[in-house]
Amino acid sequence: MTRRLFGTDGVRGQANKFPMTAELALRLGAAAGRYFRPVGGGAHRVVIGKDTRLSCYMLENALTAGLTSTGMSVFLLGPVPTPAVGFLTRSMRADLGVMISASHNPHQDNGIKFFGPDGFKLSDAAEAEIEALLDAEIQLAQAVNIGRAKRIEDGRGRYQEYVKTSFPAGLRLDGLKVVIDCANGAAYRAAPEVLWELGAEVISVGVSPNGTNINQMCGSTYTQTAAEAVVAHQAHVGIALDGDADRVMILDEWGEVADGDQIMALLAARWADEGRLRGSTLVATVMSNLGLERFLQGRGLRLERTAVGDRYVVEAMRRGGWNLGGEQSGHIVMTDYATTGDGLLAALQFLAEMVRTGAPASQLVRQFAKVPQLLKNVRFAEGARPLDAPAVQAVIEANRDRLAGQGRLLIRKSGTEPLIRVMAECEDEALLGQVVDEIVEAVRAAV
């Protein structure tokens, strides 16, 4: 069974254009409600969280209508991080969790992603079955069994208290000056409050959402804002989250950025020393730098690579029984604490290491030397298939041969945007540039 609507992270698109319309959201809610509604009696409940995009109001109402029409009672959390939805789905014994967000994308985009009753994102197979229900006549609940909807005022607070329990007992953030950039997104209240309650002096940026400024010149994909604040306030460290706070970038006291690979290296080494790293294995995607793999090998640890997407990282972790994984883009997954990537939780682990060691952030964020890596994107029109063009395939294969034994080449279509991503790694930076540019030009010609 194939999926048409679902990508690597739920259904996503531009608001008020298919598939991100109120009509489709209503039908999708009804299909998901029909799929998750338990057979025979009992509570039928779903929690819905959202980020701060203007279109979230529209989609939230449409999803609620669809879900209640099939007998699901809806609990509306308001703006909360994506990992809060995973946590609260399980904590509140819900049958289903829904997050309305397009993560790091601009405000005009939006998305819908589902969590199962265990708090984990749905599998490809489950998403395909929900899609199949969209094409059928959905069985609606009898009038007496239509679900109710109500707002939950303490959902964010429950999540904040849980996140604080992940911080090592006996440690505090007293004396640390921390810049937190919330990308005008879902964590604009939760993240600063948690840091302050743990003792930090907090400088907040990106905490004034207006519906259209999410991820706009702020957050994990635009770290200049956080870097400027770190330098201006002489902060010890900076934390940059994305719009739904499931990914993070760490900035040292000089405003220099560390990506997810460096954070994972730090945590993997620490957990291995403590005997906490299950299977001596870190799970990451094919995008993670070769330097990370060499770093782990030098410590007798193993890197398990997956397809791009934090859901595939989590699936591999669950299959292998491993407890640490993530993506270079800043998704850090720690299944001892959470069911999905959690930027705030990962940031707290980094801050705990600063407190424990007394080392400056600049020392902790440089765990290994990166192999030179170059990534370029080529945008294409919806429906186009530039990677199928024989001329493009020929250029890719020729350059793959040029890199043989010297580096890596990865060409893929983005799962969330109409982009072809061309990435290569090679110690020879001149060759690296030539390889990427040749492939990019071939793809552009095909587009």
Residues with Cβ < 8 Å from 216, sequence gap 6 or more? 106, 107, 184, 222
Given the residues 55, 101, 103, 288, select the one marked as catalytic: 103
Kindly state the tokens that stand for 180.
């937190």
Residue 39: the pLDDT is 46
Burial (CB count <10 Å: 0-12, 13-18, 19+), residue 417 = middle
CA distances for 72 relative to 32, 77, 78, angstroms: 10, 15, 18
CA distances for 267 relative to 181, 252, 309, angstroms: 22, 16, 20
Check whether 364 has a pLDDT greater than 80.
yes
Check whether 41 has a pLDDT greater than 70.
no
CB 64 within 8 A of CB 74: yes
| Span 107-131, pLDDT tens digits | 999 999 999 999 999 988 999 999 9
6-154, CATH topology level: Alpha-D-Glucose-1,6-Bisphosphate; Chain A, domain 3 (3.40.120)
Whole-angstrom distance, CA of residue 191 vs CA of residue 238:
12
Q: Which CATH number fits domain 260-344: 3.40.120.10, 3.40.50.150, 3.40.640.10, 3.10.105.10?
A: 3.40.120.10
Active site residue 103: yes
* Bigger pLDDT: 386 vs 337: 337
CB 189 within 8 A of CB 77: no
Residue 124: the pLDDT is 87
CB 303 within 8 A of CB 309: no
**DSSP per-residue letters across 421-445:** EEEEEES-HHHHHHHHHHHHHHHHH
- Rg of the chain in Å (alpha carbons): 22
**DSSP per-residue letters across 73-106:** EEEEEEE--HHHHHHHHHHTT-SEEEEE--TTS-
Predicted confidence band of residue 42 (pLDDT cuts 50, 70, 90): low
**What letters, b where the CB count within 10 A reaches 16 and e where it falls short, cover 334-373?**
bbebbbbbbbbbbbbbbbbbbbeeeeebeebbebbeebbb
Residue 382: the pLDDT is 75
Residue 182: the pLDDT is 98
Omega before 19 within 30 of 0, i.e. cis = yes
Q: How many CA atoms lie within 13 A of 87 on its CB side?
A: 24
Average pLDDT over residues 55-59: 98
Per CATH, the architecture of 174-257 is what? 3-Layer(aba) Sandwich (3.40)
Kindly state the tokens that stand for 139.
């069985």
Task: Please calculate the CA angle 311-257-225 and round it to the nearest 5 degrees.
Answer: 100
| Span 426-444, pLDDT tens digits | 999 999 999 999 999 999 9
Residue 65: the pLDDT is 98
Average pLDDT over residues 175-201: 98
Widest Cα–Cα separation across the chain: 70
pLDDT above 70: percentage of residues in the chain: 98
Q: 396: part of which helix (H) or strand (E)?
A: helix 390-403
Average pLDDT over residues 65-90: 97
CB 72 within 8 A of CB 147: yes
| Span 224-282, pLDDT tens digits | 999 999 999 999 999 999 999 999 999 999 999 999 999 999 999 999 999 999 999 99
Check whether 416 has a pLDDT greater than 80.
no
| Span 19-39, pLDDT tens digits | 999 999 999 999 999 998 754
Whole-angstrom distance, CA of residue 242 vs CA of residue 436:
27
Beta bridge partners of 14: 109
- Scanning 213-342, the segments in alpha helix (DSSP H) are 224-233, 260-273, 290-297, 310-320
Residues with Cβ < 8 Å from 179, sequence gap 6 or more? 203, 204, 205, 226, 229, 230, 233, 235, 237, 238, 239, 251
pLDDT, mean over the chain? 94
Task: Give the start-to-end residue ranges of the domains of the chain.
Answer: 6-154, 174-257, 260-344, 373-446
DSSP state of 387: G
Residue 1: the pLDDT is 56
174-257 shares the fold of 6-154: yes
Residue 38: the pLDDT is 54
Residue 136: the pLDDT is 85
Whole-angstrom distance, CA of residue 13 vs CA of residue 18:
7
Strands (E), 351-418: 373-379, 407-413
| Span 143-164, pLDDT tens digits | 999 999 999 999 999 999 999 9
Whole-angstrom distance, CA of residue 213 vs CA of residue 53:
8
| Span 159-186, pLDDT tens digits | 999 999 999 999 999 999 999 999 999 9
Distance separating the N- and C-terminal Cα atoms of the chain: 29
Burial (CB count <10 Å: 0-12, 13-18, 19+), residue 112 = buried
Q: What CATH number was assigned to the domain covering residues 373-446?
A: 3.30.310.50
Residues with Cβ < 8 Å from 4, sequence gap 6 or more? 131
**What letters, b where the CB count within 10 A reaches 16 and e where it falls short, cover 308-332?**
bbbbbbbbbbeeeebbbbbbbbbbb
